[in-house]
Amino acid sequence: MPDPLTTHGELDEALTLAVDAARAYLAGLDERPLHDGDPDRAAARLRTPLPEDGDGAPAALRALVEDGLDGSVASAGPRCFHFVTGGVTPAALAADWLASTLDQNTAAWVESPLGAELERLALDWLTDLFRLPGDWGGVLTTGATMANFVGLAAARTWWGDRHGVDVAEQGLAGLPPVPVLTSGHLHSSAAKALGMLGIGRANVHRLACDAVGTLDSDALVRALAALDGAPAILVANAGEVNAGHFDPIAEMADLAERHGSWLHVDGAFGLFARTAPAAAAHAEGIERAQSVISDGHKWLNVPYDCGFAFVRDRSLLPRVFGATAAYLPPVDFERPNFAYLGPEGSRRARSLAVWATLRAYGRNGVRAMVERHLALAQRIADRVDQAPDLERLADVPLNIVCFRYRPPNIGEDALDDLNASLGEAVLADGRVFVGTTLYGGRVAFRPAIVNWRTREQDVDLLVDVIRELGARLNPA
């Protein structure tokens, strides 16, 4: 009867199986289709009853490699333009393997001085990379959803203080609704975070002046004036998911300062605009916010899951996330216990991958990748503009191109259904992966480019596949 102690001699074989499978997978990843066409087959092969007696680590690994890998999506590859899906740099991948090997818990400094010091250093480097003030606090999270949660939790604490209430201690009962003001670009994860924080999704005022969500600046001015000095939380969106639009962040920073409001910026991928001079103007003013967030597993290309939250006043974080018990260490910013700065207690050492990729490629490596992606997005836009059967729906400020299939022989009223069916056909085809959205009420494709592996031939294939399958669905 195998148990890990009696069979721990199998470790070497299990690791060798994993390394060999990883090498083979990664060697073919650039050309690999996104899926094998039958998402249920691998699951069916793996679905067995719980073994009474296992058959050991090598057999388990062999089953995973032989029966399981086909069920994965090649989302780490260069042709995944769906959602906003980053890949994994070689440095980040290898460091992440070590993070699992060392199995560090970066809750308390004492449990992993390595993980904590690298988290502090990685956050310092990131504030430098994003040109944020060096004295801000920060924490790594599981992604932008939880980073939004952290930034908005700090905002809630500040807002409670303005009403004389420590919300983390006493709750929100008896307080007025928290006014949250933003544009129509607000990401669903920020609304989710506001729900989790008890602020409530319904208290979000989306002030948009058009169907695509552009901020109605006059409405924002009026809403702030109507508050008559009462504190509000402004959420600015740096890079929204449909077309990569930015809110006018500097203008929102002016208003926040004038009205004594909190400015939170969701830059899940848009914060990276600050690494590339050609795009940086969109993200000016972010340095004046009170809280700013971004993702690691998107444009930094570290493995899932990883996000970052930065807060101007770091002392707010332990007031929400601190925990006390006789066996726990106290809050300490010199030897940080990161469990007190974010929602999780025990936490994976995701700092190793973040640090390793920044150490390996540096500021210029990140900038080169971002600039390459900006150029690839323009290449898609050019090809869309030249194609008689494609229509671009938005400018391309960053790395997302919003367009639809529009053959000349079809009327406006049939286009949404055609593009929705085409979207399904593209996903089923599997040569490229790209999602559809509603842009100003119209069904559209929205490829997002954030993977370091993506090359010109990959974005060309994306356009070719959409046109080929479109013509098949709608013969002339």
Ligand X SMILES: Cc1ncc(COP(=O)(O)O)c(C=O)c1O
For ligand X, the closer CB: 71 or 307: 307
| Minimum CB–partner distance for residue 237 and ligand X (Å) | 6
Rounded Cα distance between 183 and 320, Å, is 27
Does 140 contact ligand X by CB under 6 A?
no
Residue 133, number of CB atoms within 10 A of its CB: 10
Q: DSSP secondary-structure letter at 273? A: G
| Minimum CB–partner distance for residue 241 and ligand X (Å) | 5
Q: Which of 303, 307, 336, 435 binds ligand X (CB under 6 A)?
A: 307
- Residues 360 and 369: beta-carbon distance below 8 Å: no
Does 429 contact ligand X by CB under 6 A?
no
Rounded Cα distance between 92 and 428, Å, is 30
Does 145 contact ligand X by CB under 6 A?
yes
Q: DSSP secondary-structure letter at 342? A: S
Q: Which residue in the shown chain puts its C-beta closest to ligand X?
A: 143
Q: Which of 93, 139, 140, 144 binds ligand X (CB under 6 A)?
A: 144
For ligand X, the closer CB: 181 or 309: 309
| Minimum CB–partner distance for residue 107 and ligand X (Å) | 21
| Minimum CB–partner distance for residue 297 and ligand X (Å) | 6
Give 76's contacts (C-beta < 8 A, 6+ positions apart).
Answer: 29, 87, 88, 451, 453
For ligand X, the closer CB: 186 or 317: 186
Give 303's contacts (C-beta < 8 A, 6+ positions apart).
Answer: 88, 92, 93, 96, 297, 353
Look up residue 154 and give its two tokens: 């700090």
| Minimum CB–partner distance for residue 190 and ligand X (Å) | 7
Build a one-symbol-per-residue string for 261-300: x at contacts with ligand X by CB under 6 A, - elsewhere. Answer: -----x-xx-------------------------x-----
For ligand X, the closer CB: 269 or 405: 269
Rounded Cα distance between 422 and 427, Å, is 9
- Residues 302 and 275: beta-carbon distance below 8 Å: no
| Minimum CB–partner distance for residue 360 and ligand X (Å) | 22
For ligand X, the closer CB: 262 or 272: 272
Instruction: Find the part of the chain contacting ligand X (CB under 6 A) among 15-23, 138-146, 195-203, 323-331.
Output: 138-146
| Minimum CB–partner distance for residue 294 and ligand X (Å) | 9
Instruction: Find the part of the chain contacting ligand X (CB under 6 A) among 143-151, 152-160, 171-179, 390-398.
Output: 143-151
For ligand X, the closer CB: 17 or 252: 252
- Name residues contacting ligand X, limited to 186-215 (CB under 6 A): 187, 189
| Minimum CB–partner distance for residue 85 and ligand X (Å) | 9
| Minimum CB–partner distance for residue 307 and ligand X (Å) | 5
- Name residues contacting ligand X, limited to 329-368 (CB under 6 A): none
Rounded Cα distance between 294 and 310, Å, is 9
- Name residues contacting ligand X, limited to 170-189 (CB under 6 A): 187, 189
- Residues 238 and 245: beta-carbon distance below 8 Å: no
Instruction: Find the part of the chain contacting ligand X (CB under 6 A) among 13-21, 142-150, 323-331, 423-431.
Output: 142-150
Look up residue 380 and give its two tokens: 């898609």
Give 434's contacts (C-beta < 8 A, 6+ positions apart).
Answer: 81, 82, 423, 426, 427, 445, 446, 447, 462, 466
Q: Which of 143, 184, 244, 285 binds ligand X (CB under 6 A)?
A: 143
- Name residues contacting ligand X, limited to 220-239 (CB under 6 A): 239
Q: Which of 241, 255, 273, 449 binds ligand X (CB under 6 A)?
A: 241
For ligand X, the closer CB: 241 or 255: 241
Q: Which of 257, 219, 283, 210 has its CA nearest to residue 441?
A: 210
- Name residues contacting ligand X, limited to 444-473 (CB under 6 A): none
Rounded Cα distance between 156 and 84, Å, is 28
Build a one-symbol-per-residue string for 9-28: x at contacts with ligand X by CB under 6 A, - elsewhere. Answer: --------------------
Rounded Cα distance between 137 and 320, Å, is 14
| Minimum CB–partner distance for residue 68 and ligand X (Å) | 24
- Residues 178 and 156: beta-carbon distance below 8 Å: yes
From its phi and psi, is residue 111 left (phi > 0), alpha (psi between -120 and 50) or beta?
alpha
Q: Which of 84, 93, 393, 432 binds ligand X (CB under 6 A)?
A: 84
DSSP result, 227-268: HTT---EEEEEBS-TTT--B--HHHHHHHHHHHT-EEEEE-T
Return the residue matching tokens 């066996």. Answer: 327
Rounded Cα distance between 454 and 39, Å, is 24
Which spans of this chain sit near ligand X (rule: CB under 6 A)? 83-84, 143-145, 187, 189, 239, 241, 266, 268-269, 295, 307
